[in-house]
A and B are shown apart, each in its own frame.
Chain A
């Protein structure tokens, strides 16, 4: 029994892989119905992602924020919280980084780290609000984080509009060179793709996620809180403090996504009409990755590659970007509905044996 169960649930790789294949297959069928050439489309997609150094670099740029927001959602989830607010925390992270990047002038070795830290704290603080409301007032974090997303969007727009706006540009002033975290030599190597240190930090965040949750005392406490708050209370763990702490860390992770978009990619913050979607994509990435740090990394790579490669499909095979959203959506659907996948696997594995059951 164990072996089979491991194969299906424990060895969590099979389900996502089958889900991805099914997603691509469904996408192909939809493309066929729409009169597009799926093979050409997928070839264009791969070409777009790996075809040349520039696009490869830009794919990494697209993946980076998803690693952070995916880790953010997964971290909260591991501690029993559903953080829908990675989007808002992301925006606050951007705002914090922009404020420091634009309005403070310091030598680079202070400026950039300060901008990163302040942005991360902004995101963490934003997550903490929801954590506090849950701990102190019992307000469901799903509701508060959704609302905080909108508050963050408009607060950020207000801050940029009224204090940081470069006239006539619809965005903030550019951040100081000293605050930027771009990697010039790597960009030059990759034909001017926008490379930045955030990518490395994202990998470190994956390691941090693992070490913190599974190796430290605090991580242990948060996991107990997440898996069984009743047992946590009995074990003398302060559940409420755990909730606030978990949301803070989750917010920091999401905030870092925004920080590096500002300091490494845009170098400014635009007045934004709507959410970027990076935070929401983080939910999907966390789901794809089974809330597991390495899984999130792989999920972000998949998600980011598909998103970035969408333009390639559009360019090479004239497939509208909506189709690739369908493919991504289908993959998530199949991951989220492991029952379907398991049913399919089961049909294929025990094969003949199940026949006796019919009688």
Chain B
């Protein structure tokens, strides 16, 4: 890397937010033509650092050099002028507009007073071709896949003349195929002289593509080293600050009786169309069944139907031979289903409530916590204290509002509550979404522990890695149907990815991803 020119240098950057130091004298150096990964847990300060570079935050201390010139980046406009572009995790696109309209938005080529669409289309087409992006400039955003939308975001930065591109967790929303295509695009970009900063917490991607990796922990740079000389375990250790095991120790499954039987289940989705089309599967005690699939293929509806939140059109759901299709959520909960919900803020927690009240969300009415209509807070407190301790939920106290907890601890609290209900069936929907390695490790261990205790675990996740790692059996869902079942030991990303898109190459993918 030494021979390459340094395009960005950030020296001794310090940024404080009330009460915390998000960046503490951080040094960061980006060389021309490299892919530089910025690795760290959630809240480690990596996004803050890049937001400073993109002009969204102002640092309290430190200097920034772009192309060896000291600069003050007081806003995104200034960053763009300096040739810095950012591809955000949440796309900022206008859906009814076409690709070109989105790209030129704010810096339209003019023909008199009118927008010169002809020139704009031509320019977009040229850039798309040059970097191998393969985007149709005339398509509407609504009509293209998530992967394509991301490319539009990339084009937006290129159109504004960016030489330094920041990617913020770019693979979080993509299918495996889309991920490998994105990595290809990134290689293409650097080969044509661009420099890339990749914010991520996925070790695999770093190993696959990055040249250099800088690890951030609690606002401080821990290390900056070439990827070539390292390995995932070492990186994970540096990121978390202690040894973590990336491989789960999993005994062979000891299968028991069927705990959950889903038979030809039909459920209508939000638009009134069938979201589940005669879905059938059986989940046994002592196993983890992974449901793999691209987001929006009926997973949410499946979870809602299983927990009683969505009416069932036809078919049956049996838990330990008891029919629960169409029963109320409370009946189902009492029958022995627990759910770690997909969206923990929406379904899992009442964020404004203290931890103790969240711990009894489904059991507040039982005699254990409720005496003649009054909440028995002594019992509730004891219960909460115990769970917090057992599940290592890091909270200042059980009176702390759930909102104030980190994502990982919020998830731990939910898992504590759900597991403590001692269910027969534990549904884990996206249990580690947005969590860091440490929390993921903890949660994975707990899920396997439940399975070892003879519970049936249904794992629904969009992260193939997670499915592959945890499941004893994988069922692939596509357009509301289980289209195949595989043994995780005998499959890989690519095969699963193809099944998930129903053997079609992912030029489209489902374009209607749900907004949350």
Q: Name the one of B20, B347, B362 contacting A230, with C-beta atoms under 8 angstroms.
A: B347
Most A CB atoms within 10 A — which of B349, B350, B370, B375?
Answer: B350
Q: Is the CB of B347 within 8 A of A217?
A: no
Whether B55 is near chain A, meaning CB under 8 Å from some CB there, is no
Closest CB pairs A-B (n = 6): A1-B19, A236-B330, A1-B18, A236-B329, A228-B350, A235-B361
Whether A234 touches B17, Cβ cut-off 8 Å, given contacts A216-B375, A356-B60, A357-B60, is no
> How many whole Å from A222's CB to the nearest CB in chain B?
12
Bound-state Cα–Cα, A224 to B19, Å: 30
Tell me the chain B residues, 335-365 only, with Cβ under 8 Å from chain A: 339, 341, 346-353, 357, 361-362, 364-365
Contact across chains for A227 and B350 when beta carbons are under 8 A apart? yes
8 Å CB contact of B346 from A218, A223, A231: A231
Smallest CB separation, B194 vs chain A (Å): 30
Tell whether A220 is near chain B: CB-to-CB under 8 Å. yes
Tell me if B350 and A231 are in contact (CB < 8 A): yes
Q: Report the separation of the CA atoms of residues A286 and B309 in the bound assembly, to the nearest whole angstrom.
A: 34
Residue A274 at the chain B interface, CB threshold 8 Å: no
A337 at the interface (CB under 8 A from B): no
Residues of B within 8 A of A235 (CB): 329-330, 361-362, 364
Quick one: which of B18, B58, B328, B375 contacts A217, CB cutoff 8 A?
B375
Whether the pair A216, B18 counts as a contact (CB closer than 8 A) is no
The reply to whether B17 and A217 contact each other, CB–CB distance below 8 Å, is no
Cα A228 to Cα B349 with chains together (Å):
8
Whole-angstrom distance between the Cβ of B19 and the nearest chain A Cβ: 2
B450 within 8 A of A: no
A-chain residues with CB within 8 Å of residue B352 when the two chains form the complex: 227
In contact, B373 and A4 (Cβ under 8 angstroms): no
Q: Check if A227 sits within 8 Å of B60, measured CB to CB.
A: no
Chain B residues contacting A3 (CB-CB under 8 Å) are 19
Task: Knowing A4-B19, A216-B373 are in contact, say whether A233-B350 is a contact too (CB < 8 A).
Answer: no
On chain B, the residues within 8 Å of A221 by CB distance are 364
Interface residue ranges, B against A (CB under 8 Å): 17-20, 58, 60-61, 72, 307, 309, 328-331, 333, 339, 341, 346-353, 357, 361-362, 364-365, 370, 373-375, 377, 404
B364: nearest residue on chain A (CB-CB)?
A220
Q: Nearest residue in B to A4 (C-beta to C-beta)?
A: B18
Question: Could you tell me if A217 and B362 are in contact, using CB atoms closer than 8 angstroms?
Answer: no
Q: Which of B309, B331, B353, B375 contacts A234 (CB 8 A)?
A: B309
Cα separation A323 to B343 with both chains bound (whole Å) = 50
A336-359 near B? 1/0 per residue, CB < 8 Å: 000000000000000000001101
Q: A227-B352, A230-B347 are in contact. Are A236 and B333 (CB under 8 A)?
A: yes
10 further A-B contacts with Cβ under 8 Å, apart from A228-B351, A234-B329, are: A4-B19, A5-B18, A215-B377, A223-B350, A227-B353, A228-B346, A233-B329, A236-B328, A357-B58, A357-B60
Asked whether A217 lies within 8 Å of B364 as measured between CB atoms, the reply is yes
Q: Is the CB of A1 within 8 A of B20?
A: yes
Interface readout for A244-279 with B: 1 if CB under 8 Å, 0 if not?
A: 000000000000000000000000000000000000
Minimum CB–CB distance for B101 against chain A, Å? 34
| A233 adjacent to B18 (CB under 8 Å) | no
B334 vs chain A, min Cβ distance (A): 8
Closest A-chain residue to B345, C-beta based? A228
Do residues B19 and A231 form an inter-chain contact, with CB atoms below 8 A? no
Residues of A within 8 A of B362 (CB): 234-236
Contact of A220 among B17, B307, B375 (CB under 8 A): B375
From B332, which residue of chain A is reached at the shortest CB distance?
Answer: A236
Distance, CA A1 to CA B17, complexed state (A) = 8
Chain A nearest CB, measured from B458 CB (Å): 16
Q: Quick check: B19 and A234 within 8 Å, CB to CB?
A: no
Within 8 Å CB of A356, what residues of B?
60-61
Assembly CA distance A5 to B362 (angstroms): 31
Cα distance, A216 to B364, chains bound together (Å): 10
| Chain B residue at smallest Cβ distance from A359 | B72
Among residues of A, the one whose C-beta sits closest to the C-beta of B346 is A230
Complex contact A217–B309 (CB within 8 A): no
**Contacts of A230 on B, CB cut-off 8 Å?**
346-347
Q: Who on chain B is nearest to A232 by CB?
A: B350
What residues on B are CB-neighbors of A2 within 8 Å? 19, 404
A237 to chain B, nearest CB (A): 8
Contact string, A3-16, partner B, CB cutoff 8 A, digits 1/0? 11100000000000
Residues of chain B contacted by A357 (CB below 8 angstroms)? 58, 60
A30 to B171, CA, bound (A): 58
Q: A2-B19, A216-B373, A217-B365 are in contact. Are A231 and B349 (CB under 8 A)?
A: yes
Which listed residue, A218, A227, A234, A236, touches B373 by the CB 8 Å rule?
A218
Closest to B328 in A: A236
Residues of B within 8 A of A217 (CB): 364-365, 370, 373-375
Whether A231 lies near B361 (C-beta < 8 A) is yes
Give A356 to B19 CA distance when docked, in angstroms. Answer: 17
Q: How close is A14's CB to chain B, nearest CB, in angstroms?
A: 16
Which residues of chain A from 1 to 35 have any CB-CB distance to chain B below 8 Å in the complex? 1-5
- A305-359, CB < 8 A from B: 356-357, 359
Q: Which partner residue on chain B sits nearest A3 by CB separation?
A: B19
The answer to whether B353 and A223 touch across the interface, beta carbons within 8 angstroms, is: yes
Chain B contacts of A231 at CB under 8 A?
346-350, 361
Q: How far is it, in angstroms, between the C-alpha of A233 and the C-alpha of B377 when the chains are bound?
A: 23
Residues of B within 8 A of A233 (CB): 309, 329
In whole angstroms, how far apart are the Cα atoms of A87 and B58 in the complex? 49
Chain A residues whose C-beta falls within 8 Å of the C-beta of B18 in the assembled complex: 1, 4-5
Q: List 9 contacting pairs A-B, 8 Å CB cutoff, sorted by A.
A: A2-B404, A4-B18, A217-B364, A217-B365, A228-B346, A230-B347, A231-B348, A231-B361, A359-B72
Assess whether B375 is in contact with A215, with CB atoms less than 8 Å apart.
Answer: yes
CA distance A55 to B80 in the complex (A): 67
Could you say which residues of chain A place their CB within 8 Å of the CB of B373? 216-218
- Among A1, A228, A357, the most chain B Cβ lie within 10 Å of the Cβ of A228
- CB-nearest residue of chain A relative to B61? A356
Min CB–CB distance A225 → chain B (angstroms): 10
* A2-B348 Cα distance, complex, nearest whole Å: 24
Q: Enumerate chain A residues within 8 angstroms of B20, measured Cβ to Cβ.
A: 1
- Greatest chain A CB density within 10 A among B17, B61, B375 is at B375
Would you give the 0/1 interface string for A190-228, flagging 1 where the beta carbon is closer than 8 Å to chain B?
Answer: 000000000000000000000000011110110110011
Q: How far is the CA of A4 from the CA of B58 in the complex (A)?
A: 21
Q: Which among A220, A356, A357 has the highest number of chain B CB atoms within 10 Å?
A: A220
Interface centre among A3, A234, A235, A357 (most CB of B within 10 A): A234
CB interface residues, A 31-66, toward B, < 8 Å: none
Most A CB within 10 A of own CB, among B17, B61, B339, B348: B348
Complex CA distance for A235 and B329, rounded to whole angstroms: 7
Residues of B within 8 A of A223 (CB): 350, 353
- Give min CB distance, B329 to chain A, whole Å: 4
- Residues on A with C-beta less than 8 A from B365 are 217
Complex CA–CA separation, A230 to B304 (angstroms):
11
Question: Distance (Å) between the CB of B372 and the closest chain A CB?
Answer: 9
- Cα(A210)–Cα(B347), bound, Å: 26
